[in-house]
């Protein structure tokens, strides 16, 4: 074993330990905020594993998209639904957890035997290394052009769908009246749910103004 | 370094993800477990691309597609969780019984 191989194995072990430990923390920690931060640790460790596999572009994309976008999105969602509630304990929770742990360990054993018993056709050709980004670009614009364009359409659909799902449809009347007393800053009009809301009635009478309903409304 | 190490690691991450998916009661944690599952699949794809197909790296292309889909899924999933939270005032998975008959 030469030096490079030793360094590879040591860093693989460190990254693997970090990844498995952080993933267990994500699943098992009682506080959801700690889980969210540990999820970033999982993503960063996986990015290190990609660098070990000679894929620097995908490693950078992993950090940018997962740590930068998905994890921040999850943190925002935790902030928005942050209700300190203690879940009502279930009667047979330990049966469920034990059964799930048993099934997961069984699945791990099954996958392990499959990995060991399969004769993998390891290729002996030298890899492309840092030229991988050129090869990926060629793939995107030749033989994977249709999935590439479909992915863009899907991202657009997800964008619109997330906005439609997450925007607030109506406001309770108390908030609306309280908001009316101060002269409202310019906000985007929202569709009112029923015409009985005081904000929409008044603005309908005044005629020229658009129905002003504030967007932010956290109780 | 061998292919099998990476596959073992991905299998372990996948099993942890399934455990979290089934047992966690906070809806946001369920979404995090789904991210763990997708990342386990990504590690598999990258290992295959590096060891079995090093010349034209199709696994990396598929990994980028999976990352794209995962980002879209996270956005829509968190929007759904937010909308459920507004309607039901809880994020407990045990109380989401709207579709139970």
What pLDDT is attached to residue A219?
46
Weakly modelled stretches of chain A, pLDDT under 50: 200-210, 217-219
The dihedral formed by the CA atoms of B48, B34, A64 and A81, expressed in degrees to the nearest 10: 180
Q: To the nearest whole angstrom, how far is the Cα of B34 from the nearest Cα of chain A?
A: 11
Q: Is A192 helix (H, G, I), strand (E, B) or coil?
A: coil
Q: To the nearest whole angstrom, how far is the Cα of A175 from the nearest Cα of chain B?
A: 16
* Contact of A106 with B2, CB cutoff 8 Å: no
What pLDDT is attached to residue A185?
62
ipTM of model? 0.93
pTM of the predicted protein model? 0.81
Q: Between A and B, how many residue pairs show a Cβ–Cβ distance under 8 A? A: 229
User: Can you tell me the distance from the alpha carbon of B76 to that of A1, in angstroms, rounded to the nearest whole number?
Assistant: 48
Q: Which two tokens stand for residue A142?
A: 């030749």
Q: What is the pLDDT of residues B36-95, one digit of tens each?
A: 999 999 999 999 999 998 888 899 999 999 999 999 999 999 999 998 888 888 888 888
Among A68, A115, A117, A164, which would you mutate to test the B interface (most chain B Cβ atoms within 10 Å of its Cβ)?
A115
Q: How many other CB atoms are there within 10 angstroms of residue A113's CB atom?
A: 10
- A1 vs B27, residue with greater confidence: B27
What pLDDT is attached to residue A209?
46
User: Can you tell me the distance from the alpha carbon of A24 to that of A36, in angstroms, rounded to the nearest whole number?
Assistant: 12
Q: Which two tokens stand for residue A45?
A: 């460790």
Q: To the nearest whole angstrom, how far is the Cα of B97 from the nearest Cα of chain A?
A: 15
Residues of A in contact with B36 (CB under 8 A): 23, 26-27, 39, 42
What pLDDT is attached to residue A171?
63
For chain A, give the longest Cα–Cα distance.
84
Scan for tokens 């029923």, then name that residue: A194
Cross-chain residue pair B52–A121, CB shorter than 8 Å: yes
What pLDDT is attached to residue A14?
95
What pLDDT is attached to residue B94?
82
What pLDDT is attached to residue A203?
45
Please enumerate in sequence order all residues whose Cβ is within 8 A of that of A201, keeping only pairs 6 or more positions apart, or say none: A195
């Amino acid at each position: 074993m030469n030096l490079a191989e030793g360094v590879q194995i040591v860093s693989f072990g460190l990254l693997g330990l970090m990844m498995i430990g952080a993933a267990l923390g994500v699943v098992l920690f009682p506080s959801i905020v700690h889980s969210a931060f540990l999820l970033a640790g999982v993503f960063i460790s996986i990015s290190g594993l990609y660098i070990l596999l000679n894929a620097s572009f995908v490693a950078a994309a992993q950090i940018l998209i997962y740590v930068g976008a998905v994890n921040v999105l999850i943190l925002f969602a935790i902030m928005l639904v942050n209700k300190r509630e203690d879940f009502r304990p279930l009667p047979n929770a330990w049966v469920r957890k034990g059964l799930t742990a048993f099934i997961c360990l069984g699945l791990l054993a099954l996958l392990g035997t499959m990995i060991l018993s399969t004769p993998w056709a390891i290729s002996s050709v030298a890899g492309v290394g840092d030229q991988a980004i050129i090869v990926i670009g060629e793939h995107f614009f030749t033989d994977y052009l249709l999935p590439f364009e479909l992915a863009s359409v899907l991202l657009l659909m997800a964008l619109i769908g997330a906005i439609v799902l997450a925007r607030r449809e109506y406001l309770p009347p108390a908030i609306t009246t309280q908001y009316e007393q101060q002269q409202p800053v310019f906000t985007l009009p929202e569709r009112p749910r029923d015409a009985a809301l005081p904000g929409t009635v008044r603005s309908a009478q005044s005629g020229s103004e658009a129905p002003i309903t504030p967007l932010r409304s956290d109780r | 370094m061998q292919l099998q190490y990476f596959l073992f690691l991905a299998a372990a991450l996948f099993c942890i993800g399934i455990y979290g998916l089934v047992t966690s009661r906070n809806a946001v944690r369920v979404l995090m477990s789904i991210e763990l599952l997708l990342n386990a699949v990504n590690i598999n794809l990258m290992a295959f691309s590096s060891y079995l197909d090093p010349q034209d790296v199709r696994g990396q292309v598929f990994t980028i597609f999976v990352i794209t889909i995962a980002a879209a899924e996270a956005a829509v999933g968190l929007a759904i969780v937010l909308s459920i939270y507004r309607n039901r005032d809880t994020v407990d998975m045990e109380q989401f019984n709207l579709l139970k008959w």
